Chains A and B, each alone.
Chain A
């Protein structure tokens, strides 16, 4: 994994190294100032001027390097962030649609956002500081060794203890306490938010005091968690400082006796307590490490998800779809034993509207997903335009099909963009026409910004029915010869349901396949099947 992680930033390695070197200089600068101060205090006035100049140069160099370190570090971070996002985007693109239809996709996508950020933090703000800590300590130890070998050894020992032993010793407890605190805080925040969002309900239901009590009770759990983290941090801090101070005193005593308290060692002594700053900053290291590694592992797992094997087939679908034929299809999901579809046959011709009814979970969606080649169908069972679906190039098939799911997919952007999906060749008259067809012209004209109104899916300016009609307009706008509607109206009121069904009937010239569990919806259909116990039977035909 480490190798793979490095591979991701290979071209950024020089910048990372720059950040590392600059960081070490910046940290050493502070020690240098302390050391130089000691030298000034004990030196004769003749040397004062040269000391002053070196000090000034050191200060400026240190400040500049601090700047360079941060800039280079963040440069890497944001580069990595952008790269990772693009990589993940490309991967999800290859996974879609079959690889994304699973229920886990929602959680996965939620995690992706924060994981990518955690990885960014890891590359730029964890790896570099660790390297700085190590490099800084070694350089300083070498410097100390020039003056006193004992000082160098003591310094290394203390550094090892407070930089690495101490964090990892306290790590487990602190990580646990922090994780617990984060969980409780998230719950409190969530309850507060719910209380506020449900304000009107709570007032009407006279449940305000009750809810406030719930929030307060929840907060009672947060306090001890926070105090625990506080205590652990306190222990860590004090332990580190006690170790530094004790070793300082012992070291001073030891080399003092050895060198008969040589005045030339005073600068070294003054610099000693400043020799551990980058290591003290590393104390939250294990936490950052485990977070970063966890996030990386999850992202890599996503990138390694096997891509659906439906991208097979060489034959391009040259003309619009005018016939689909399912012939004795039997299907079960690879990882499940239960047969979803058994000996299913159907044919549908251009201009026809077909309807499939059945209980939820009967396998209606699976059937249409097989028709869309989201899942590979058994060889020879599905033919489109008399071509076996397994031979058809998937992209060319998708170009001919528009699919409207139960929950309209609305993007957080303008109405226009939601319709065109960025296709610049779609003309305004075409948009006007399809909006008219789904009866949205008037409604959208009422919006202050018309077509340019941005729709926020969490708080849309349009009702659910209107959004579904918008999605239908999108399907009308993009040329296709097969329209698949998956429970398009099951959550809609009668008016919207009617509008959708009649506009499909009147304005869509290709073939339509509609799934529903409500039989009222099926009045517009030319042929209706029922899917029951894995079998498909014709219910009505005209």
Chain B
């Protein structure tokens, strides 16, 4: 995984080298200055040459940093690597074939991944350069120590080993504190804002005191857990600090015999010790960043899985069906999940332009599964499904995307204006608004003071559900797909908006294939041909006929009407 991280931002590597050198210089310059000071002291006289060389070097270095090239290289590796990882991650995520691997694309995972990409700063910008700078310094220490016949270079290794052992022991003692802390956090962070937001309701129901009390208890519980986690983390801090200080002190004793018997001069001993001290301080900081880098590992793992998915499939390969799809055929088709009964079987019907088709059934009968087959997300487990005369297993996900438009009851809208949302897929057309209006959609826009330029907020939160749905409907219809599937697209919106959308569906169905999935009786009455899915089978007919002949269909409609009437 770490190896993969090195593949990114290659063009910015000179920036990485510059930063490494820079950090290394900050580490060793105090050592050099110390050497100069101590040499004055042992020589009992000022010799400014060293100081002048040092000062001159710093000056030259500062001038180097005035050049645009040097400034360009600051943080360059991080910046470029993050850009490339982001790009590849998105490309992977947008690979059509990724649709069915839901664990990769769940909201939580994605939020974690995006945060993970942001945190790569610590890796590219801090951790790696610091490791390298420490490494160089350590090499320098080894070189100097060996040249001056001292064993001092063993100390950092020893210190490092002890740190590892100490951390491991701690981990063994209390490995699950982290989880408890998180639970406490979940218990508190959310409810606090939640309770504040719902305070009006709480007050009106006289529940605010109760909630205040349980909130205070939660806060206290959380505090207790946090302190427990802290104690654990501080123990590691204690070990790190103690070891660093102790090793510095030990350095003095390692050097002492050589100084006492004249094997090392004070200057040499001082330089070695300063180098040791600087190295240890840096090591302690590394420990901290190591923690951060390790905590991004789960995110990184998923990021690279997504990126790998993007690498496998060639983009935009529309090949199998190039002509418009004018016939969808189900021939004795069936579907069942591997571990269960068939959801439905022996399904045969043909969809063609000219009529508004309905797919009706109770919840859980497999309506949406059938839609997913038409979208290429699932394959039938029996029989055949064809677009024109082509079996759909010949089609790529890209084909489905090109031919099939699908709208459910919770489409996503982008923050921006109404115009930007509707024209998202047709940026280079000019008459899209005319087309939308001709269809009779989005009339409400004309009543808004800002019209098409009205901002709609994230996921359209400034709009009503019906308005949101109309926008999603309009932008999809503008894409001129050959098959439209509306999957409960009129659920959860008010009656006026349902009316508008059903009318448009009807008009669309005159020239292209439209399948409307619903279980709501008012929409059902607008459908010309209904495929009623019940008991694993399809029964086809017009609504009044089905109502008379099919007990299940009658029950579905009657229950709803009774519910409405009785309340």
The residues of A with any CB-CB pair to B shorter than 8 Å are 26, 29-30, 33-34, 36-38, 40-42, 45, 48, 52, 55-56, 58-60, 62-64, 66-67, 70-71, 74-75, 78-79, 81-82, 85-86, 88-90, 92-93, 95-97, 100-101, 106, 109-110, 112-113, 185, 189-190, 192-208, 210, 212, 215-216, 219, 222-223, 226-227, 230-231, 234, 237-238, 241-242, 244-246, 248-249, 252-253, 256-257, 260-261, 263, 265-266, 269-270, 273-274, 372, 395, 398-399, 401-403, 405, 409, 411-413, 421-423, 439, 457, 459, 463-465, 474, 478, 489-503, 505-506, 518, 520
Contacts and interface: CB of A to CB of B under 8 A. Distances in A.
Contact of B212 (A34, A90, A198, A227): A90
A216 B84 CA distance: 9
A413 B407 CA distance: 30
Interface in B447-502: 458-459, 464-466, 472, 475-476, 479, 490-495, 498
A459 to B, nearest CB: 7
B192 A499 contact: no
A520 B51 CA distance: 91
B261 to A, nearest CB: 10
A494 B498 contact: yes
A82 B495 contact: no
A199 B277 contact: no
Interface in B90-104: 90-91, 93-94, 96
B411 to A, nearest CB: 6
Contact of A252 (B40, B204, B242): B40
Contacts of B222: 82
Q: Which 5 A-B pairs have the closest CB atoms?
A: A502-B567, A205-B425, A63-B242, A498-B564, A421-B207
Q: Which residue, B58, B72, B212, B238, has most C-beta atoms of chain A within 10 A?
A: B238
Contact of A260 (B33, B44, B220, B415): B44
B128 interface: no
Q: How large is the interface on B (under 10, 10 to 19, 20 to 34, 35 or more residues)?
A: 35 or more
B37 A249 contact: yes
A199 B105 contact: yes
Nearest to A374: B200
A30 B249 CA distance: 10
Contacts of B220: 82
Q: Which residue, B65, B192, B241, B269, has most C-beta atoms of chain A within 10 A?
A: B241
9 contacts: A29-B245, A56-B249, A60-B242, A86-B212, A92-B196, A113-B193, A185-B118, A216-B86, A495-B520
Given A45-B260, A226-B75, A421-B207, A206 B492 contact: no
A201 B405 CA distance: 10
A505 B227 CA distance: 54
B204 A403 contact: yes
Nearest to B200: A97
A204 B74 contact: no
Contacts of B490: 493
Contact of A423 (B210, B252, B491): B210
Given A204-B405, A253-B46, A398-B203, A212 B87 contact: yes
Contacts of A495: 520, 560, 563-564
A38 B251 CA distance: 11
Contacts of B193: 109-110, 112-113
A194 B231 CA distance: 39
B461 to A, nearest CB: 11
A94 B22 CA distance: 56
A222 B75 CA distance: 12
A225 B112 CA distance: 23
A395 to B, nearest CB: 7
A392 to B, nearest CB: 15
Given A55-B249, A464-B465, 6 more contacts: A62-B245, A97-B203, A223-B83, A253-B40, A502-B565, A506-B567
Nearest to A65: B241
Nearest to B519: A495
Given A192-B90, A245-B30, A205 B424 contact: yes
A405 B197 CA distance: 13
A492 B497 CA distance: 10
B412 interface: yes
B36 interface: yes
Given A92-B196, A261-B44, A495-B520, A85 B94 contact: no
Nearest to B464: A491
A29 B222 CA distance: 33
Nearest to B72: A227
B424 A520 contact: no
Contacts of A40: 252-253, 256
A199 B492 contact: no
Contacts of B256: 40-41, 48
A294 to B, nearest CB: 20
Nearest to A192: B114
Contacts of A198: 412-414
B202 interface: yes
Contacts of A496: 492
Contact of A78 (B29, B110, B223, B234): B223
A372 B241 CA distance: 62
A45 B210 CA distance: 71
B273 interface: yes
A411 B252 contact: no
A78 B107 CA distance: 30
Nearest to B255: A41
B37 A100 contact: no
B40 A219 contact: no
Nearest to A84: B219
Interface in B418-470: 424-425, 427, 458-459, 464-466
B230 interface: yes
B340 interface: no
Q: Which residue, B75, B199, B204, has most C-beta atoms of chain A within 10 A?
A: B204
B76 interface: yes
B208 interface: yes
A67 B424 contact: no
A36 B251 CA distance: 11
Contact of B563 (A34, A45, A263, A439): A439
Contacts of B566: 502, 506
A270 B274 contact: yes
B234 A70 contact: yes
B265 to A, nearest CB: 10
Contact of B273 (A37, A234, A490): A37
Contacts of B211: 421-422
A497 B71 contact: no
A89 B215 contact: yes
A395 B209 CA distance: 12
Contacts of A75: 227
B500 to A, nearest CB: 13
Nearest to A398: B204
A372 B204 CA distance: 9
Given A204-B401, A261-B41, A422-B214, A231 B252 contact: no
Contacts of A81: 219, 223
Contacts of A101: 200
Given A97-B204, A257-B46, A197 B412 contact: yes
A502 B561 CA distance: 12
Contacts of A113: 189, 192-193
A227 B41 contact: no
Nearest to B427: A210
Nearest to B409: A463
B93 A261 contact: no
Nearest to B248: A33
Interface string B21-61: 01000100110011011101100111000010011001000
B249 A215 contact: no
Contacts of B492: 463-465, 492-493, 496
Contacts of A194: 412, 414-415, 458
Contacts of B78: 226
B255 A207 contact: no
Interface in B297-354: none
Given A245-B30, A256-B40, A93 B234 contact: no
